[in-house]
Structure 1
């Protein structure tokens, strides 16, 4: 093999690491956590928490810092997690890889910043997410309630949960029907509290912050929660995230299955 041909593979190996935490893991999970301008401090904290989850729940974890894995065969993964890592960062080959994976029955988990994609850049990805990011007010504490208490992503949460986050506002330009898991009560924070020169209006009574849907031949779980590093140490947030990952990877735990 020529060195010039080997360099991409060597580079990929440097940023994709398999953590063999269970010899007979119940499934394999790929987590993509790319360092970006707005999200990077969370990465070592989230990685440690995912590795603990893998040991506790006996699944095999592959952690990636760049999306080169999406150019290869993803079929071994029960689900892929886009952890604050949007598809807008993918090149053409990586986009094609994710599309092939989902069309073959793969499953995806989309977390916080991964929701955001430049409108019109990759409509397929916008439809996978199910909602399009509009804007968010300043980070505030608010009351989160269960829209679907039968979903595993709610099992570790109280009926009313005090949480502090960026309460993303969404639009639905593609008319996608999603199934809300958690909603935020806009009466418990100020949806218009934002930086000078920006305007936020809120979404009113119908403001989901987590949802699921069937897409192509797979399952998709989305949570808008998870802005800062400390959240990836929080037991309730990790219960929420793990419940979504487990459901996406297995389809178990909820009577509603796409």
Structure 2
């Protein structure tokens, strides 16, 4: 009997050790599919978001494409579409995202994720984002104003914040209930500074650049900020991003209405 037991022990020692079960307070999927104008950011964003996960004690899975939408999303509290627009998802994958949100999942849409395909191509996703992208001028420095200091994505920011980015312009809200977190002061930059053959006029006094809302059973945080790769190495921006992610994943951080 001793010899078989010894052989069994040797076999067990040679087997790979399985990683321990996830111990974080919640699990997040980040989908960062590089595209024509947004690819350099990824080499900065991945280690910084992984560091964010370690700092705040949550589990993070990173995907360079939309393949996770072909699998089981139920283990995630939130999905971050990091410069990954809705039209990157195939038809079946779109249904998976809709089911995830209807089951109470959170979504964080960052920068390029706000630019979806032709109007009417995926109305559900258009309403999830909440506003339709129109155009943006060249990257410029501007003054960002905190409009909702009681939302976690604004906790680490001053009332007026100097930031450089592509200042996306949007049409009117596509759904009711959008809550603006940050806006940009158009008097602090030139909304018409754009490439030849294009025209941007700005949005006027009301120019939101980050907002949130409850949508179809889930929670959605949207930020238009995040074009320059250096943004993902900036402590204030990362705090802004985590505040929105924390709320999207848990619903915590704000008082109930």
Q: Same fold (TM over 0.5)?
A: yes
Give how far 1:71 is off. 1.9
Gaps of 5+ in 2: 1-18
2:88 paired with 1:89: yes
What root-mean-square deviation, in Å, do the aligned CA atoms of Structure 1 and Structure 2 show? 1.5
Corresponding residue for 1:109?
A: 108
Corresponding residue for 2:161?
A: 161
2:33 paired with 1:68: no
Structure 1 segments of 4+ aligned residues over 6 angstroms from their partners: none
Corresponding residue for 1:249?
A: 249
Q: Distance in 2 between matches of 1:98 and 1:121?
A: 15
8 Å CA contact 1:33–1:66 kept in 2: the answer is: yes
* Equivalence map 1:232-243=2 (5 Å): 232-243=232-243
Q: Distance in 1 between matches of 2:127 and 2:78?
A: 18
| Greater C-alpha Rg | 2
Q: Secondary structure at the match of 1:181?
A: strand
Distance 1:243 1:185, change over 3 A: same
Corresponding residue for 2:13?
A: none
Q: Secondary structure at the match of 2:219?
A: strand
Q: Distance in 1 between matches of 2:62 and 2:21?
A: 15
Give how far 1:227 is off. 0.1
Gaps of 5+ in 1: 1-19
Deviations 1:36-72 (A, max 9, x none): 1111111121000011011111100000011111122
Distance 1:165 1:35, change over 3 A: same
Q: Distance in 2 between matches of 1:21 and 1:238?
A: 28
Distance 1:59 1:169, change over 3 A: same
Give how far 1:153 is off. 0.3
Give how far 1:172 is off. 2.9
Give how far 1:174 is off. 3.1
Q: Secondary structure at the match of 1:62?
A: strand
Q: Distance in 2 between matches of 1:21 and 1:45?
A: 28
Q: Distance in 1 between matches of 2:172 and 2:85?
A: 18
Q: Secondary structure at the match of 2:43?
A: helix
Of residues 126-135 and 171-180 in structure 1, the stretch that sits farther from structure 2 once superposed is 171-180
Question: Could you tell me the TM-score, scaled by structure 2's length?
Answer: 0.90
Corresponding residue for 2:56?
A: 57
Q: Distance in 2 between matches of 1:27 and 1:81?
A: 13
Q: Distance in 1 between matches of 2:173 and 2:58?
A: 36
Q: Distance in 2 between matches of 1:178 and 1:187?
A: 24
Distance 1:178 1:253, change over 3 A: same
Q: Secondary structure at the match of 1:242?
A: helix
Question: Could you tell me the TM-score, scaled by structure 1's length?
Answer: 0.89
